[in-house]
Amino acid sequence: MATLLGPRKTIQETLDTTETEGSRLKRDLGSLDVLVIGVGVIIGAGIFTLVGQGSAVAGPAVTLSFVLAGVVCALAAFCYAELAAMVPAAGSAYTYAYATLGQLVAFIIGWDLVLEFTIGAAAVGVSFAGYLNSLLDQVFGVTLPDAITSPPGDGGTVNLFAVAIVLLVGAVLIRGIQITARFNKYLVGLTIVVLLVVIGVGITEVDTSNWKPYFPEGWNGVHEGAALLFFAYIGFDIVATTAEESKNPKRSMPIGILGSLGIVTVLYILVAGVITGMKPFDELTGDAPVADAFKGIGMDWVAAFIYVGALVAVLKTVMLLMLGQSRVAFAMARDGLLPRGLAKSHPEWGTPYRITLVTMGFVALLAGVVPLSTLAELVNIGTLFAFIVVSIGVLMLRYTAADRERSFRVPGLMVVAPLSVLGCIYLMAKLPLDTWLRFLGWMAIGLVVYFAYSVRASRVSEDRRNAPDRTDG
């Protein structure tokens, strides 16, 4: 396998790489910072829109769809927590694949994550102008012109607001991880306040008759709803990309990954229960079903507040997706699988500033001029694929690095990891065929890059050639 899939990078080699002069990241994050990053990246604008789409498939049982999607994510989250605490290096699933399945699989996963985070950040950035339009229309009766809020394919010229938001968060990311964490705390706090208002005010308007029938489409509807709502949970894996910048990753990684997922799951279930109780599920068909539910009962002030929450959620989601993208690409460049010149950290701020600038440019370009409605579907399948590799990786390291210290261990690993793999495969099977075709096309491009450039430029391959008797482990 080592020959076919390329060399494996040992855990010690990975940890040694994090101390490379000129490519060292600054450890500034405490456990609370990591937890808030997790909550911040998971709770995006999706919760304000996906409730309607999920209830159209599952009915009031959309609450169970959120539970099912959360359980699948939790299985993978346990695996991420063990690996992130044991291998505290930037790169997340890419880094873990390198230590378990070899260089080829690591590159494929890294290439997959580049797609996921870049497309995700651009797609969310595009929606910023839409939410801004809704907010201005609700509060001031002003609608921004399409020429500056939509790309050419959607009838506009350039989405200036999407470009501006990408440049803003890129500047924050370059300035320092502590600045980023502090900015994120404020945004997360406001988003949670909005969700608590939705729950607290909405629960007084619930009509339990709207929950009947609870299973209009049976359990199949619940399963299809879970595959759709999985998008609302994407992001907890980004916590693992900050392991190298955490003061005490052995403690903060499990807290950040598992804690953020638990908090968000509870909030999602409560919001879904309240909204489907306020309005019949087949009427939650608009682009802003949560806000529409309150407008329908004359609470326009709550609807306006929700638009503010969605706008803030978009802002922090763009920032944290770009954070994840820059750390994965930074790790790949440091290993030589991408141009090594990109793996430079800022001498004062300790951030991967070069790759962040490149990321900022690509995301701004995509968000400004490309319609991303079809490409955004790739985010789900790419994330599920990464979850599968991480779940397999944690199993393999229990054997190949059995004696290595683990500050956190997955309980019942022999059950949890296989269930995680099966759950991800099941949700992937529910995705449309065209999504699969686009995903496979992107992977094919990645293989060309790998065999044409990365396999020869790899630092690990170079080290193996210079020290052929060195063993993996």
pLDDT above 70 for 196: yes
Confidence band, pLDDT 50/70/90 cuts, at residue 211: very high
Mean pLDDT of the chain: 83
Q: How far apart are CA 84 and CA 443, in angstroms?
A: 25
Q: Which residues lie below 8 Å from residue 391, measured CB to CB, with a gap of 6+? A: 75, 76, 79, 417, 418, 420, 421, 424
Degrees to nearest 5, angle at CA 364 with 369 and 28:
160
pLDDT above 70 for 432: yes
**pLDDT tens digits for range 55-86:** 888 889 999 999 998 888 888 889 988 888 88
Summarize the confidence of residues 200-217 as an average pLDDT.
91
- Assess contact for 169 and 315: CB atoms under 8 A: yes
Of 286-295, 303-312, 320-329, 459-468, which range is least confident? 459-468
pLDDT, residue 378, reads 62
pLDDT, residue 473, reads 47
Q: How far apart are CA 17 and CA 331, in angstroms?
A: 9
Degrees to nearest 5, angle at CA 11 with 355 and 257:
65
**Whole-angstrom Cα Rg for the chain:** 22
pLDDT above 90 for 21: no
pLDDT, residue 273, reads 93
Q: Provide the token pair at 258.
A: 């598992």
pLDDT, residue 63, reads 92
pLDDT, residue 269, reads 92
pLDDT above 80 for 287: no
Summarize the confidence of residues 384-396 as an average pLDDT.
87
Residues in the chain: 473
**Between 21 and 93, where is the model more confident?**
93
Pure H helices in 19-143 = 31-42, 47-58, 62-86, 93-100, 103-140
Q: Which residues lie below 8 Å from residue 372, measured CB to CB, with a gap of 6+? A: 119, 122, 123, 126, 366
pLDDT above 80 for 139: no
Q: How far apart are CA 173 and CA 121, in angstroms?
A: 14
**pLDDT tens digits for range 103-129:** 888 898 888 888 878 887 887 777 777
pLDDT, residue 1, reads 43
pLDDT above 60 for 415: yes
Alpha-carbon dihedral sign for residues 288, 293, 295, 299? negative
Domains and CATH numbers, the chain: 29-92+121-371 (1.20.1740.10)
Of 103-107, 236-240, 250-254, 377-381, which range is least confident? 377-381
Instruction: Transcribe 146-164 into DSSP letters.
Output: GGGTS-GGGTSS--HHHHH
**pLDDT tens digits for range 305-362:** 888 888 888 888 888 888 888 888 888 898 889 888 888 888 888 888 898 899 888 8
pLDDT, residue 2, reads 47
**Between 455 and 177, where is the model more confident?**
455
Confidence band, pLDDT 50/70/90 cuts, at residue 153: low
Say whether 267 sits in a helix, a strand or coil. Answer: helix
Q: Tell me how crowded residue 282 is: count the other CB atoms within 10 A of its CB.
A: 10
- Assess contact for 176 and 350: CB atoms under 8 A: yes
Confidence band, pLDDT 50/70/90 cuts, at residue 469: low
Q: Which residues lie below 8 Å from residue 64, measured CB to CB, with a gap of 6+? A: 58, 222, 225
pLDDT, residue 150, reads 66
Confidence band, pLDDT 50/70/90 cuts, at residue 209: very high
Task: Report the interhelical angle of 47-58 vs 249-278 (nearest 10°).
Answer: 60
**Between 147 and 242, where is the model more confident?**
242
**pLDDT tens digits for range 250-265:** 889 899 989 999 999 9
